[in-house]
Amino acid sequence: AQSVTQPDIHITVSEGASLELRCNYSYGATPYLFWYVQSPGQGLQLLLKYFSGDTLVQGIKGFEAEFKRSQSSFNLRKPSVHWSDAAEYFCAVGEGSYDKLIFGTGTRLQVFP
């Protein structure tokens, strides 16, 4: 069965520092991969997605992610974090014809001034 692992439950960074959130997946075929962000008490906003093609994907708010098939990873990066980036980040894999999403456990990002 497909699964998604986000090894870091909680990450704290200083504003202006670089960020990398890890995501590993287990899936037999080429996965559809997503990163979502959730602010407290809110729904999810799509940051970026990978279906095929270029393995480096650009998203909104200055985020990017790189698909590495050999490592079964889809890590999210941002070169300079802003205080407004503090939120919960979820990695997800689409199952089959992406009929449903399987979510990782999430990584909570705190940003200190």
Partner 1 sequence: GAVVSQHPSWVICKSGTSVKIECRSLDFQATTMFWYRQFPKQSLMLMATSNEGSKATYEQGVEKDKFLINHASLTLSTLTVTSAHPEDSSFYICSARGRDRPGEGYTFGSGTRLTVV
Q: Which residues of this protein are in contact with partner 1, per CB under 8 A?
A: 32, 34, 36, 41-46, 49, 51, 90, 94, 98-106, 108
Report, in Å, the least distance between residue 80 CB and partner 1: 25
- Tell me the CA distances in angstroms from 29 to 53, 56, 88, one per residue in order: 15, 19, 28
Q: Which is nearer to partner 1, 63 or 90 (CB)?
A: 90
Report, in Å, the least distance between residue 106 CB and partner 1: 5
Q: Which is nearer to partner 1, 8 or 98 (CB)?
A: 98
Report, in Å, the least distance between residue 51 CB and partner 1: 6
**Residue type, position 63, single letter:** F
Q: Which is nearer to partner 1, 43 or 113 (CB)?
A: 43
Strand partners, 38: 44, 88
Q: Which is nearer to partner 1, 15 or 101 (CB)?
A: 101
Separation of alpha carbons 32 and 17, rounded Å: 29
Report whether 27 contacts 94 (CB < 8 A). Answer: no
Question: For the chain, how are helix, strand and coil distributed in percent, rounded to 5?
Answer: 10, 55, 40
